[in-house]
Amino acid sequence: MGTKNSKNLSIIDKELKIEGSISSTGKLIIKGQVTGTIDGDVVIIAEDGQVDSTSTKVSSLTIGGSFKGEVTASKELIILSTGTCAGKVECKDLIVENGGILNAEVTCKTTSKLSTEKDSKPFEPHVLRDKKQIEL
């Protein structure tokens, strides 16, 4: 019973509000409210879930509810059609479904460069290197 299993599942239910630091292995599903820091493997914020975090470090984050703050995802960040993400994002792969809202400073990097390269420039969709310019 005391061994770590990568298939662990933890749930923060709708009526639960947590303030502080969360560290988890396996999958963490957030249906309630979390204010603080999160360190984990796979984190899923359900449609009713709300996270306000100064520092979130995960391998994968799926947002179906609301996330505000700073997140580093070593693998992927997925924003579902019901999800909202605001703040600062650093990830390897970024997926935003139609209807999902992303209002953040975004930096996409290879896994080896996550959190190690300080002088990289964030994504700027309105600036292109050639003479053609596209307004988004």
Instruction: Give residue-wise pLDDT tens across range 55-102.
Output: 999 999 999 999 999 999 999 999 999 999 999 999 999 999 999 999
Distance, CA of 1 to CA of 58 (rounded, Å): 24
pLDDT at 37: 97
Strands of the chain, DSSP E? 9-12, 17-23, 27-30, 33-39, 42-45, 50-63, 66-79, 84-96, 101-108
The structural domains of the chain, with segments of one domain joined by +, span: 9-112
pLDDT at 131: 46
Dihedral through CA 121, CA 103, CA 136, CA 58, nearest 10? 60
Strand partners, 116: none
Instruction: Give residue-wise pLDDT tens across range 14-42.
Output: 999 999 999 999 999 999 999 999 999 99
Q: What is the pTM of this model?
A: 0.77
Provide the residue type at 28 as one letter.
L
pLDDT at 65: 97
Distance, CA of 5 to CA of 9 (rounded, Å): 9
Q: Is the dihedral of CA 70, 73, 74, 76 positive or negative?
A: negative
Strand partners, 58: 73
Distance, CA of 103 to CA of 73 (rounded, Å): 16
Per-residue confidence band for 109, with pLDDT thresholds at 50, 70 and 90:
confident
The label of the residue with tokens 């292995």 reads 25
pLDDT at 112: 55
pLDDT at 114: 55
In terms of pLDDT, which residue wins out, 52 or 128? 52
